Chains A and B, each alone.
Chain A
Amino acid sequence: MAKTSFLGADGGMAVIVNLDNCIGCRACQIACQEWNGRTPPQTSFSPTFTNPPRLMPNAWKVVMFHEITREKILRVEEATVKISDAVELVPLPFNCLHCTDAPCARSCPVRAIKVTPEGAVVIATEECIGCGSCFAACPFKVPQKGPDGKYYKCTFCVDRIQNSKAPACVEVCPNRVFTFTSMEDAVRIAESMKAEGKEIYGLDLSGYVGGRVRWIFALSKDKAAQVFKKQFPEEAVGTMGSFGDLAKMLGVPGLVLASAAGIILGVLAWRKERMKKTESQEA
């Protein structure tokens, strides 16, 4: 296994993403591109506001906008206001969640995906052979194939966090959405947020991703019920789902160790199908 043996789900760094603070300004999206030297992709009008509409090889972080309606009640000393169909817009800054036991790293046949002592899951571009098994393995559809055939994604700003700096998106955020801290601390913060009535995504996931991810999302319960469901795949939440099946089909340890072309091609074929399915869903 490529992951470091001493770094379990309790160690390393993590980021709490307090979505209730997010004003959707997308500075994080820009800072990510600037720091990582990414040329912004060409886009067109987005009916959901989200743009680019998904993660891309040159957009490792994208703020996803979700419009929902719900019952809203404001109770203050002076007044109580009840709005039965209050419309809400919820932005969700999205990037690689850095699973504590990253399926992408496990799946990489050439071990090009490194896991650092901080817990950053990083594709070493120079080693990537572009096979796509990482994408296939990722429940969040994070790694994206670039024009050079290699896969790209958020590195957790590995070259910053290893040099005593917070990730670029964390540093730029005008409204303190992100708290970059140790996993230990993050769990504590998340617990207290939960006690304040927020729902937490990222700490109680399937074993497939290590049970936890390092980017942990917090959002008021009344919004989270809809937004988390829209944003995050069920696979990573509960059962292994289709990924479990895939893992079973290919045999995870086998996939990691094997360099047999046949297996890789098999993964690619599956991935192609999956992409098609995704596209038709999105259309």
Chain B
Amino acid sequence: MGGEPNVNISRRAFLKLASIASAALALSAVPLAEAQKTGEFRKWALGEVGGKPDIVKAKVTPVICAYCAMDCSIDFYTVGEKILWTAGSHDSPANWGRLCSKGQAAFQLVDNDLRILHPMIRTGPKPPVEEILNAKSWEEYVGIIKRYPPKWRVVSWDEAFKYIAEKLSNILSEWRRTTGAPKQKDGYYYVGSQVPVQVIGSSVLVNEEAYLSKKLATFLGSANMDSQYRKCHSSTVSALAVTYGWGAETASIEDVALADVILFFSSPAEAHPISMQYFFKARKDKGAILITFDPRLSRTAMVSDLWVPFRSGSETAILLYILHYAFFERSPPIDQLDEFKRLMKKWNITLDDLNELKDLISQYNAEEVSRITGTPIDLLKAAARIYVERSGVVTNHKKHGAIQWAMGFTQHTNATISIIRAAAIVQLLLGNVGYPGGGAHPFRGHSNVQGSTDVQGAGTAALPGYHGHPVSAMEVRLYQDWKLQGMPDPWSWEVPEWALGAFPALKASAGKGKADLGKVLQVFKFYGWRRHELLWGMFCGTDPEGDPEKGTVICDFPVGSGSTEIVFPRRALNKEIRAAFIFGENPVATNPNAKVIAAALASLDLLVVSDIFETETAWFADVLLPAASFAEKEGTKTSSGRVVSWSFKVAEPRSLSRPEYWIIPRLYKYLRAAGAILLPSEAYGKDVEKVKFRVDSEIVNVYERRLDPDTSWDYSGGTGSATPVGPIEAEANPRIINKEINFTVQIYDGMYDPVRDKFLTMRRETTLRKPGDIDGLFSRAFNVYKDFGWSWPHNVRFLYNYDTLVAVLGTSYKVKAAGVEWVVTGETGEIIDEYTGEYRPAYIPGHNFWAPRMFKRRLSGVSDLWGGVNMMKFIRTGALEFPEKSFVVKGPDGGIKVISYEEFASLTGMKYLWANDTLYWDEDTTTFKALVKRPFFPGEGWLKFKPKYEEMREKLKTYYQQTGSMKQAVLKVIEEMGRWYAGYNFQYPIHTEPAESPDLELAIKYPTMAWLHPHNLKVLKEEPGIVAGKPVGLALVPGELKVEGGELVVLTSNRLTETWHGGSMSRNLPLLVQLVPEPFAYVPEKLAAKLGIKPGDYVEIVTARGSVKMRAYTTKGMAYLKVAGKDIPVVNVLWSFNFQGRVIGPSGNFISPDVGDVDTTIQETKVWLGYIRRAG
């Protein structure tokens, strides 16, 4: 049991050989010196061939890889500051000693002659905005940009910070003066979208840094905060979160080895190479069938059992066809199976709902889906049959299927609402999700993209940990009332009568003792706000505290949502955003429609960029800050499968480069000193919170808390296990920040053990748990490494596995912990017990949908969080300092008393209440349902929508025929019907075409969803004014793209094993550059033959956004499809090259559109329209 999926080096054979060799040496009559001369024997010292004999003396430090989110551990072998060698760490279940080409080359990110090592200030003018927007070809674009070099002046850190602070202070002071902010009509707060500052970054930072970038945005009052996750998996997060409760991959990587069939909709062999060992383990152990859906014969397709080519943008149709097979083609249909009926109770749907869904699915038969997707019918049928027949619901959990995806799913206008929702629903209805081998596996790109999303609360609309921003002053009043009720859990909270008008969703379970999802989500928000208030020294509530209804609303958290990375550029061009901070990101390369982002950055009054290289984004910066590379700092990263592990520091940052955990607190200090930051509580003049509880309508003074935002930014020092590891860390200690995250972000609660002063993320155990341990049976039966790192929530590795042990193993599990015997049916995770300080199972009897949001809290109505202990002080010094009195209790006579921690602890035994805030999950809390049905827009369900659907199609067709312009037709339909897709609430997914559809018939039959989002309408209408008439728009149907010669193709984009996203981390590394030195386009051989394109020829690809010339990689392994009766070739372009760095070349993003997903705005860079021809 356990161990590596496969061990191939035979150690026994090795030892045997070693003994033969030494025997041979001993027997040999020839002296060694002589033997060397004659070539017989020669003994080489380790490292001799490569000139690294010091390797035997090297220090070995494990670092989490800088690339993908498998979060492999790399051992760095160093002597002093010199890196001699790197190899995969054997003590990490992520990679078991293995690495991919990027991981093996990653050390070249540290020692690289292109690193920037000093802060620099721009002295040159920026490229003119209009000129950039007008460029029709890549060559023209680069020509314009290169005429305006930054002309850097090297400065000290002090000068750089002062320069930034002064400029930003001017921008914000003026803005505050003209708008009156933070004073509003109904209180003191910033409307988060209006603050003219955008903060971006990043998914390569450690959690401790990413968290600070969100904290900085919050202190600036800005909700215009976003990161790379927007562009890779925001749609996944959104779709999975509304269906299952959380947006994360449903299980850690061990899960895929337990699958019996896997559908790949991405290419993990290229984007996540190390994961393949687990897929191959499934193949070896379980006979799993691997099926790859991809327009390209990827390196995953290459090793799969089946390659199913299809047209990018038609994923929903494929997924709905799988259900069509399950409900209408197999016998018996799955809804007649007992297991389906049992599970249906967990999905929040009625039989009527199911019938409605089935009616929708009935439209997607094999013939129709083949017409939409271009996939041959027999392949489609075989894939669906294999997948359904190996599902949990059909086999009674003897088999399960997993769906794996990445950008192929996520970067579409209909990604959230159709594609990923469809995948999530397929997994639920087939009884896969929540069971081993049945995961929904969106593989994250960046090494810490999951963590960055978590600790930035997905940026725009929530605090760290997804605790949503307040949406209104009224919500702050409701929050103040919640605080007055003693920070209750959902069951102990009584929604006040006066708030029900404003919050109708809370009506159903307003009273005490009841809780539904609406109430649970509201308390989860409030609970997060309180955590942040306490750790950030801020205030959100009313003054006076005892009068939530009429007091003045003051909130230091920004109110509402802000602009995403995709929406931001057009807002900047419209002068709504004036300044931006970009930490470790390169949007000029990674954003779609390159001219728009480049022009936007050129238009800013202040752009501050931190990076390790002078990226394309840095080209537009006013100030460029040298960041430390991934091996020159420490902190945690969260893998795609939510395993949080510690990355250790190898060496001091080269020259003056610094980690962002050092840069951002300094920046804060300078910004503060220059007056750039003004909190609403300060504008109002509030510096103390009087914590009061209302008990039996009596207001009780509990304790007073001094607001102290500046101390919350002081991360110097550190004791015990947080003793700083170097001089930089002594000034800004990531270990203190890590503890802060532990206490602000509820889902990360538990990664630090405050009782034992231990960072659990540092654990490197590669053994399975034993019988008798918490989750001992789970860990053993499914080979899950629960003691390597730590996983949210509460170290649960497989989400939602409520009854896995019973359903799969046929048994429940008894475990004794913290003096109690627990009977559990799934994975429970563990939490510190408030009575004993020992660990006990967290989720009883197993982990279910939406957990851990629906906690119960023993201190509800009794005390503030953690008993009111000064948590800001505890994380810095380890000292537990409680207010003199902070616990509200009723005496035996019914009298209300406020008593001390010591008194309360001795009265109740809850000595460790400060460690876990007395949270617990019983069976009430673990019965929340998944949402198969979920409306996204106002309107009716599918059945009622059907006639309107027809009407919409008819109108669209008529108006297109009348005007000859799809844009005009769309706008007319919206005008007449009141809204795009008027009448459908999108409760169930349907196929919709991409914004740029290759076929007129399909564009009318399945209208794109795009126009449901105001940003997309901006793109359609060519807004703001400055872009009008410039080549940055759309061609909605082939007829709108006028190109001489060439062939119409569906364009899609990809990266390779050897290239990395925007490319600054791959095309600057000599080792990787040699493998893929130039960008190219995958051209189907048949198309190449038609156009006379030979391998390696330059081709020109022309789109509504202009054109690029790239080399042609001609191959039979690129889809040439029959879509709706017509030949549709697919061409795939690389997007990881650009105009800066060791090797350069055109980027696929020069020609991709900046329309986005209608829910999260993630860009549609997996499908657009173009013509291809041989370049002259």
A185 interface residue (CB < 8 Å to B) = yes
Please state if A44 and B14 are interface contacts (CB–CB under 8 Å).
Answer: no
Please state if B1116 and A67 are interface contacts (CB–CB under 8 Å).
Answer: yes
Interface segment out of the listed A111-119, A133-141, A238-246, A275-283: A111-119
Which A residues lie within 8 Å of B276 (CB)?
23, 174-175
Please state if A30 and B277 are interface contacts (CB–CB under 8 Å).
Answer: no
A74 interface residue (CB < 8 Å to B) = yes
Most B-side CB within 10 Å, residue of A12, A74, A81: A81
Please state if A180 and B1096 are interface contacts (CB–CB under 8 Å).
Answer: no
Q: In the complex, what distance in Å separates the CA atom of A140 from the CA atom of B1073?
A: 26
Please state if A41 and B1074 are interface contacts (CB–CB under 8 Å).
Answer: yes
Please state if A45 and B1078 are interface contacts (CB–CB under 8 Å).
Answer: yes
Please state if A78 and B39 are interface contacts (CB–CB under 8 Å).
Answer: no
Q: How distant is B802 from chain A, measured CB to nearest CB, in Å? A: 28
Which B residues lie within 8 Å of A182 (CB)?
10, 13-14, 16-17
Closest to B38 in A: A111
Q: How distant is A168 from chain B, measured CB to nearest CB, in Å? A: 8
Closest to A7 in B: B24
Which of the residues B9, B39, B100 comes within 8 Å of A27, measured between beta carbons?
B100
Please state if A24 and B299 are interface contacts (CB–CB under 8 Å).
Answer: yes
Q: How distant is B273 from chain A, measured CB to nearest CB, in Å? A: 4
Q: In the complex, what distance in Å separates the CA atom of A11 from the CA atom of B13?
A: 11
Please state if A30 and B1057 are interface contacts (CB–CB under 8 Å).
Answer: no
Please state if A79 and B382 are interface contacts (CB–CB under 8 Å).
Answer: yes
Q: In the complex, what distance in Å separates the CA atom of A163 from the CA atom of B36?
A: 18
Q: Which residues of chain B from 1035 to 1067 have a CB within 8 Å of any chain A CB?
A: 1057-1058
B180 interface residue (CB < 8 Å to A) = no
Interface segment out of the listed A46-54, A199-207, A224-232: A46-54
Please state if A81 and B299 are interface contacts (CB–CB under 8 Å).
Answer: no
Please state if A40 and B1071 are interface contacts (CB–CB under 8 Å).
Answer: yes
B1095 interface residue (CB < 8 Å to A) = yes
A176 with B6: in contact, given A114-B39, A159-B44 (CB under 8 Å)? yes
Which of the residues B40, B269, B305, B1074 comes within 8 Å of A51, measured between beta carbons?
B1074
Which A residues lie within 8 Å of B1077 (CB)?
42-45, 51
B136 interface residue (CB < 8 Å to A) = no
A45 with B274: in contact, given A35-B50, A81-B382, A89-B302 (CB under 8 Å)? no
A163 with B269: in contact, given A25-B1057, A29-B101, A174-B274 (CB under 8 Å)? no
Closest to B291 in A: A74
A89 with B297: in contact, given A31-B104, A44-B1077, A175-B277 (CB under 8 Å)? yes
Interface segment out of the listed B82-90, B444-452, B805-813: B82-90
Please count the residue pairs between chain A and chain B whose beta carbons lie under 8 angstroms apart in the complex: 250
Please state if B38 and A2 are interface contacts (CB–CB under 8 Å).
Answer: yes
A247 interface residue (CB < 8 Å to B) = no
Return the CB mask of B748-764 against A: 1 if under 8 Å, else 0.
00000000000000000
B97 interface residue (CB < 8 Å to A) = yes
Q: How distant is B1134 from chain A, measured CB to nearest CB, in Å? A: 11
Please state if A4 and B104 are interface contacts (CB–CB under 8 Å).
Answer: no
Q: How distant is A37 from chain B, measured CB to nearest CB, in Å? A: 3
Please state if A89 and B104 are interface contacts (CB–CB under 8 Å).
Answer: no
Closest to B381 in A: A79
Which of the residues A24, A27, A78 comes within 8 Å of B390, measured between beta carbons?
A78
Which of the residues B41, B101, B280 comes within 8 Å of A175, measured between beta carbons?
B280
A237 interface residue (CB < 8 Å to B) = no
Which B residues lie within 8 Å of A184 (CB)?
13
Which B residues lie within 8 Å of A172 (CB)?
87-88, 98-99, 104
Q: In the complex, what distance in Å separates the CA atom of A200 from the CA atom of B297?
A: 26
Interface segment out of the listed B783-791, B883-891, B1014-1022, B1107-1115: B1107-1115
Please state if B39 and A30 are interface contacts (CB–CB under 8 Å).
Answer: no
B48 interface residue (CB < 8 Å to A) = yes
Q: How distant is B1083 from chain A, measured CB to nearest CB, in Å? A: 11
Please state if A23 and B269 are interface contacts (CB–CB under 8 Å).
Answer: yes
Please state if A114 and B302 are interface contacts (CB–CB under 8 Å).
Answer: no
Which of the residues B10, B50, B1071 comes within 8 Å of A179, measured between beta carbons?
B10
A124 interface residue (CB < 8 Å to B) = yes
Closest to A182 in B: B13
A173 interface residue (CB < 8 Å to B) = yes
Please state if A185 and B13 are interface contacts (CB–CB under 8 Å).
Answer: yes
Q: In the complex, what distance in Å separates the CA atom of A24 from the CA atom of B277?
A: 13
Q: In the complex, what distance in Å separates the CA atom of A72 from the CA atom of B1132?
A: 25
Which of the residues A11, A41, A179 comes within 8 Å of B9, measured between beta carbons?
A179
Please state if A88 and B302 are interface contacts (CB–CB under 8 Å).
Answer: yes
Please state if B39 and A34 are interface contacts (CB–CB under 8 Å).
Answer: no
A105 interface residue (CB < 8 Å to B) = yes
Closest to B298 in A: A89
Please state if A116 and B42 are interface contacts (CB–CB under 8 Å).
Answer: yes
Which A residues lie within 8 Å of B25 (CB)?
117
Which A residues lie within 8 Å of B269 (CB)?
23-25
Q: Which residues of chain A from 1 to 41 have a CB within 8 Å of any chain B CB?
A: 2, 4, 6-7, 11-13, 20-27, 29-31, 33-41
Most B-side CB within 10 Å, residue of A40, A42, A59, A86: A40
Which B residues lie within 8 Å of A59 (CB)?
1074
Return the CB mask of A172-196 against B: 1 if under 8 Å, else 0.
1111101111101100000000000
Return the CB mask of A85-117 against B: 1 if under 8 Å, else 0.
011111100000000000001000001111111
Please state if B389 and A78 are interface contacts (CB–CB under 8 Å).
Answer: yes
Which B residues lie within 8 Å of A23 (CB)?
269-270, 273, 276, 299-300, 302-303, 1057
Which A residues lie within 8 Å of B105 (CB)?
30, 34
Which A residues lie within 8 Å of B100 (CB)?
25, 27, 174
Please state if A117 and B1075 are interface contacts (CB–CB under 8 Å).
Answer: no
Which B residues lie within 8 Å of A157 (CB)?
49
Q: Which residues of chain B from 287 to 302 have a CB within 8 Å of any chain A CB?
A: 289, 297, 299-300, 302
Which B residues lie within 8 Å of A36 (CB)?
49-50
A165 with B46: in contact, given A78-B386, A180-B9 (CB under 8 Å)? yes
Closest to A114 in B: B39
A67 with B1117: in contact, given A33-B1071, A43-B1074 (CB under 8 Å)? yes
Most A-side CB within 10 Å, residue of B5, B6, B87: B87
A272 interface residue (CB < 8 Å to B) = no
Which B residues lie within 8 Å of A180 (CB)?
8-10, 14
Which B residues lie within 8 Å of A74 (CB)?
289, 305-306, 382
Please state if A39 and B1070 are interface contacts (CB–CB under 8 Å).
Answer: yes
Please state if A11 and B20 are interface contacts (CB–CB under 8 Å).
Answer: yes
Q: How distant is B1067 from chain A, measured CB to nearest CB, in Å? A: 13
B60 interface residue (CB < 8 Å to A) = no
Which A residues lie within 8 Å of B299 (CB)?
23-25, 89, 91
A174 with B51: in contact, given A78-B385, A117-B41 (CB under 8 Å)? no
Return the CB mask of B204-219 against A: 1 if under 8 Å, else 0.
0000000000000000
Return the CB mask of B103-115 against A: 1 if under 8 Å, else 0.
1110100000000
Question: What are 6 A-B pairs at a CB distance below 8 A?
Answer: A30-B104, A44-B1078, A79-B386, A87-B297, A122-B44, A158-B44
Q: Which 5 A-B pairs have the closest CB atoms?
A: A47-B1095, A37-B50, A159-B44, A117-B21, A23-B269
Q: A23-B276, A170-B8, A185-B13 are in contact. List 13 more A-B contacts (CB 8 A).
A: A23-B269, A23-B303, A25-B273, A27-B100, A38-B50, A80-B382, A117-B24, A163-B46, A172-B88, A173-B98, A174-B273, A178-B8, A185-B10
Residues of chain A having any CB pair with chain B under 8 Å: 2, 4, 6-7, 11-13, 20-27, 29-31, 33-45, 47-49, 51-52, 59, 67, 69, 74, 76-81, 83, 86-91, 105, 111-118, 122, 124, 155, 157-160, 162-166, 168, 170-176, 178-182, 184-185
Residues of chain B having any CB pair with chain A under 8 Å: 5-6, 8-10, 13-14, 16-18, 20-21, 24-25, 27, 36-52, 85-88, 95, 97-101, 103-105, 107, 269-270, 273-274, 276-277, 280, 289, 297, 299-300, 302-303, 305-307, 378-379, 381-382, 385-386, 389-390, 1057-1058, 1070-1078, 1080, 1095-1096, 1111, 1113-1117
